[in-house]
Amino acid sequence: MVLLDTAAKAVYTLPPDKLAKAIHLYHARTLAHFGDTAWMILALWLLVRSGVGARIRDWAEKCSGRAWVQGLIVGPAWLLILSLLGLPVAVLMHRVNLEYGISVEGWGMWLGDIAKSLGLTLVFGTLMLGVLYALMRHSKRWWLWLWLLALPVEVLGVYAVPVFIDPLFDHFSPLAQADPALAGNLERVTERGGLSIPPSRMFVMDASQKFTAPNAYVTGFGASKRVVVWDTTIQHVPTDEILAVYGHEQGHYVLEHIQKGLEFSAAMMLVFFWIGYRAMGWMVRRYGDAWKIRAVGDWASLGLLLLVVTVLSFVAEPIGNAFSRWEEHAADVYGQEVIHGLVPDAQATTVRSFQRLGEMWLDDPSPNRFVVFWTYSHPPTASRLESAVHYDPWRNGESPKYLTK
């Protein structure tokens, strides 16, 4: 790993062999991201235009005259189509991650995760679509009712995912049992931040079965809120840098980023549900006869709905990512502040942690600004490291942004 003598001179850089890999990986990820979106839009458009939706609806109507039973046929059919359309790019990127050493997950385990994800999509997606189409058939303001229903469902989902969904894919154990010494060091960080995060909310995830690089994150809501540290972090990162990584995650916890994210998501959904409602109505009126779609609430419109959702999700992506980068930067600042006084040099420790994370994840030092704007949920590693270099309020006797003690 490239380690620089002083934080004041630090710039994120990679040795030539890793730099070449990082650039190639960056191009592969960018091409996969935009290419997959373009492929999905094109494929769904062709399926809608060719009347596939009407044929699936007709088949469902032959099986039952009940709309909700028809949904049990049409919903899974389209969700399966959508999953199959995305499978080639998923396979390609898993192969790339294996080739570049980011992933070590065997194909059997990977396919098992894909199967689990598909099963969850079919169950919960079919249920959601059944509710949505019932609203479409019974109310002209279905988009508003959908938004009102989506709010508690989203909160419930954030609460339930770490408890019921995540354990289906990965193994978690209490950090205090896996590494008591580290748990004790992390408690020093929580005390420094004036928090009381019980050890029962600190977990270690056995990520080494799938990945080689370190990571940590905060997840959950209310009683399910927790901090998760990957075992690869414990294996490959020195303790003082783990405190920096954890300090960042504690920043999400303290700064209530999950709650703020839910509020931001609610506002975004309200706007884009309305846009989707207008777009669906216009296209059914304009092209419904040609596509054999009787009305917006006709099960034949499901392919069109998925097309609209795909397009709007792509359009909304840079907005959501800009908000995410703002949260991540705030957590970076908090993380540097909260370890101040707990490690010999908080600034240098934070800089080293970004350098190490960037090297292990093969993050390109110079990504295209447009790609960052559209696709990055975190600031680029080079920007994060540069911010850490320039953030030192203690040098001039100034007050830190979040921690005044």
Segment 338-357 shows an average pLDDT of 95
Spatial separation of the C-alpha atoms in residues 167 and 123, rounded to whole Å? 18
Between 247 and 222, name the one with better pLDDT.
247
pLDDT digits (tens, 9 = 90+) for 313-337: 999 999 999 999 999 999 999 999 9
- Report, in this order, helix, strand and coil percent for the chain, each rounded to 5: 75, 5, 20
Model confidence at 8, in pLDDT bands (50, 70, 90)?
A: low
Least confident of 55-59, 127-131, 179-183: 179-183
Least Cα distance to 103 among 209, 260, 217, 259 occurs for 209
Residue type, 75: G
Strand order in the sheet with 226-230: 172-174, 202-205, 226-230, 216-219
- The reported pLDDT for the residue numbered 206 is 97
Question: Is residue 241 scored above 50 in pLDDT?
Answer: yes
Q: How many helices (H) and strands (E) does the chain have?
A: 14, 4
Which residue ranges make up each domain of the chain?
Answer: 16-405
| Distance set, CA 211 to CA 93, 96, 105, 214, 235 (Å) | 14, 13, 7, 8, 12
Question: Is residue 378 scored above 90 in pLDDT?
Answer: yes
Contact (CB, 8 A) for 182 and 203: no
Segment 344-360 shows an average pLDDT of 96
Contact (CB, 8 A) for 157 and 221: no
Least confident of 70-74, 177-181, 203-207: 177-181
Question: Is residue 60 scored above 60 in pLDDT?
Answer: yes
- The reported pLDDT for the residue numbered 2 is 45
Contact (CB, 8 A) for 78 and 302: yes
- The reported pLDDT for the residue numbered 352 is 96
Segment 266-294 shows an average pLDDT of 97
Contact (CB, 8 A) for 216 and 186: no
- The reported pLDDT for the residue numbered 404 is 75
Question: Is residue 7 scored above 60 in pLDDT?
Answer: no
Model confidence at 225, in pLDDT bands (50, 70, 90)?
A: confident
Residue type, 142: W
- The reported pLDDT for the residue numbered 194 is 85
Model confidence at 5, in pLDDT bands (50, 70, 90)?
A: very low
Radius of gyration of the chain (CA): 24
DSSP state of 343: B
Spatial separation of the C-alpha atoms in residues 33 and 79, rounded to whole Å? 20
Task: State percent of the chain over pLDDT 70.
Answer: 98
Average pLDDT over the chain, rounded to an integer: 94
Least confident of 159-168, 202-211, 385-394, 395-404: 395-404
Least confident of 196-200, 264-268, 276-280, 366-370: 196-200
Alpha helices (H) along 170-256? 175-178, 180-192, 231-236, 239-254
Spatial separation of the C-alpha atoms in residues 35 and 24, rounded to whole Å? 16
Question: Is residue 196 scored above 80 in pLDDT?
Answer: no
Spatial separation of the C-alpha atoms in residues 137 and 133, rounded to whole Å? 6
Least Cα distance to 51 among 291, 396, 325 occurs for 291
Sign of CA dihedral 248, 13, 359, 90: positive
First to last CA, the chain: 34
Least Cα distance to 300 among 272, 275, 280, 277 occurs for 280
